[in-house]
Amino acid sequence: MVLLHVVDLDPRLTALRRVGGFFALRTAAAAVPPLPTLAQVYAPQRPDAHGDFLASRVRAVAGALGTPEARVAASVAQQGLAARLWSVALGCASLYGAVPDLDPRLLRWDPDGTAPDDLWLTDVRARSGDAATVADLVLHGHLEPLAAALRSRHRLARGLLRGNAASALAGAARELDRWGRGHGRTDVGARAASLAAELLAHPLLAGTGTLSGTAFRRRSCCLYYRVPGGGVCGDCCFTRPPRSSPRAPSG
């Protein structure tokens, strides 16, 4: 049996800031504002509940995009949060060799913030940086309950949300590879690419697209082409925005 050594993490996760805004994570080393936890965000809404943080976020994204379609804004909002979570997890695993516990009860989130999503980790607890741990923290801990919460409010296909999660994962690995090559840390990109390949083979992401090196081509569409002035993304299944179909394929 191989025993994995979990290293101590910098309580400020300083190394993440060097990669970029999608990777940086505020921690309890600074003052944490009274924002909702992601556990509260994912929780089923009761009819008498005051304040729906997820609905508030979708409205904010819709306003920023200038789209009247809530499901389009919901898709973009989900992919944005997924990108932040993958970036933090892959970034820590590749730079530190360990990841912080990303339990939704430990992460506070500003639903009214701008992109990239503003996240605060209230307690930095080191976990192993292997793919199984990352999948448990991000896929099972966040993206499954987030997808369920969004589908309870909006007409979104499971395949679309799975494709968004895969696209965000591949994008995080690609950015780490780019950063690593530019800073003499090709080991960082190699580690991120290896983790991304393992994670894309996970049952919750398998079949969402094709990974070739750092390039990813998904089998679904995030609906961004429906945003006024929007087009298709670089990894979209479409080569040009659809014209006749009111709905994109969901994978």
Whether the pLDDT of residue 155 is over 70: the answer is: yes
Nearest to 24 by CA among 149, 122, 116: 116
Domain assignment present for residue 222? The answer is yes
Domain assignment present for residue 172? The answer is yes
Kindly state the percentage of the chain with pLDDT values over 90.
Answer: 78
User: 70 in helix, strand or coil?
Assistant: helix
Nearest to 92 by CA among 19, 198, 33: 19
Domains in the chain: how many in total? 1
Name the DSSP class of 67.
-
Kindly state the percentage of the chain with pLDDT values over 70.
Answer: 90
Whole domain around residue 75: which residue ranges?
A: 14-44+51-226
Q: Which stretch of 30-44, 65-79, 158-172 has the lowest confidence by average pLDDT?
A: 30-44
Domain assignment present for residue 244? The answer is no
Whether the pLDDT of residue 163 is over 90: the answer is: yes
Rounded to an integer, what distance in angstroms lies between the CA atom of residue 38 and that of residue 177?
Answer: 28
Q: Tell me, yes or no, if the pTM score tops 0.75.
A: yes
Domain assignment present for residue 7? The answer is no
Q: How far is CA 69 from CA 84, 160, 170, 247, in A?
A: 23, 16, 26, 12
Domain assignment present for residue 240? The answer is no
Q: Is residue 31 very low, low, confident or very high in pLDDT (cuts 50, 70, 90)?
A: low
Mean predicted confidence (pLDDT) in 95-116: 95
Domain assignment present for residue 39? The answer is yes
- The confidence score (pLDDT) of residue 142 equals 98
Domain assignment present for residue 195? The answer is yes
Domain assignment present for residue 31? The answer is yes
Q: Are strands 26-27 and 119-121 parallel, antiparallel or unpaired?
A: parallel
